[in-house]
């Protein structure tokens, strides 16, 4: 993930420099750098969407392999579809007390009044659990990214009791929180982290925003990740397959004949790139900027 972010930043800088070089004798100042930055941003966004279509295509292939009942090879991307259940005991979410196998939560000032993107408190946990597919159970080996999981408002009484009874690890600020989260997604299950960000909370829990997401016991999910044959588990693989992801729903035995999601993203990204360059051509041809 960190490598992908670095690559994306370098790509944007190269695009901005390239458009700046192309427009240096074609547009006057200060229009030239502004147009170069705008063009780089739109083309960069289009390329990001196209690249996400590549990952969607990989997911589609993984889903179809599972639907056909193919045993995944060691190290291969797998899409495990079925109800997820704890191997031993279940968890209970800190802000509502919901029985679950994994949760995330955050407590902090309302976004519109906050001077920082970091919450006052944040936490993550997962118990030992497995996705029970049509072809056997596959263990969840690391913490997972939640994709498409509902964010629910927490119960204030639950939240206050949890904060009062929990020993939090203190993080300095948003940068340290982000770094800790990157490491957390490769931590083996079971795992639990409770963080207080920036020292003293900015607002009391009694008036803070409360948000949590849970993967409920028995919920049907699709788990995407690298398959480890030795442990029959699915894990994160930040160098190749990406982080382990869990998304609600999925049809275990339905094979899809067309990768519609991947094609839509490819077309959408291509349209954004073509349209932005066509607009640049039109502006340079018909609108005097000198």
The predicted pLDDT at position 221 comes to 95
Query: Of 208, 192, 212, 217, nearest to 95 (Cα)?
Result: 212
At residue 198 the predicted structure's pLDDT band, cuts being 50, 70 and 90, is confident
- E strand or H helix at 261, and its extent? helix 260-286
Q: Give the span between the Cα atoms of 281 and 275, in whole angstroms.
A: 10
The predicted pLDDT at position 191 comes to 93
Q: Which residues are 83's β-sheet partners?
A: 220
The predicted pLDDT at position 241 comes to 64
For 136, the 3-state DSSP assignment is strand
The predicted pLDDT at position 182 comes to 77
Cis peptide before 30 (omega within 30 of 0): yes
User: What proportion of the chain, given as a percentage, has pLDDT over 70?
Assistant: 92
The predicted pLDDT at position 255 comes to 66
- Residue that wins the pLDDT comparison between 151 and 63: 151
At residue 224 the predicted structure's pLDDT band, cuts being 50, 70 and 90, is very high
The predicted pLDDT at position 79 comes to 92
Q: Is the pLDDT of residue 88 over 70?
A: yes
């Amino acid at each position: 993930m960190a490598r992908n972010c670095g690559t994306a930043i370098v790509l944007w800088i190269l695009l901005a420099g390239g458009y700046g070089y192309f427009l240096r004798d074609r547009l006057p100042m200060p229009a030239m750098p502004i147009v170069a930055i705008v063009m780089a941003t739109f083309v960069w966004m289009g390329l990001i969407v196209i690249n996400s279509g590549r990952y969607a295509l990989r997911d589609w292939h993984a889903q179809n392999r599972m639907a056909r009942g193919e045993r995944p090879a060691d190290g291969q991307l797998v899409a495990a579809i079925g109800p997820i259940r704890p191997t031993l005991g279940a968890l209970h979410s800190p802000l509502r007390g919901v029985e679950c196998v994994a949760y995330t939560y955050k407590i902090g000032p309302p976004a519109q009044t906050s001077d920082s993107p970091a919450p006052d408190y944040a936490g993550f946990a997962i118990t030992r659990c497995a996705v029970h597919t049509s072809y056997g159970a596959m263990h969840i080996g690391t913490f997972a990214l939640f994709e498409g999981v509902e964010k629910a408002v927490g119960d204030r009484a639950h939240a206050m009791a949890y904060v009062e009874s929990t020993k939090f690890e203190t993080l300095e600020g948003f940068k340290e929180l982000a770094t800790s989260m990157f490491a957390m997604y490769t931590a083996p299950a079971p795992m639990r982290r409770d963080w207080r960000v920036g020292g003293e909370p900015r607002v009391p829990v009694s008036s803070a925003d409360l948000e949590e997401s849970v993967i409920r016991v028995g919920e049907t999910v699709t788990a995407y990740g690298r398959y480890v044959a030795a442990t029959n588990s699915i894990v994160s693989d930040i160098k190749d397959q990406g982080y382990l992801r869990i998304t609600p729903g999925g049809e275990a035995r339905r094979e899809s004949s067309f990768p519609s999601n991947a094609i839509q993203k490819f077309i959408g990204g291509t349209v954004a790139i073509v349209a932005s360059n066509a607009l640049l051509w039109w502006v340079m041809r018909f609108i005097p900027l000198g």
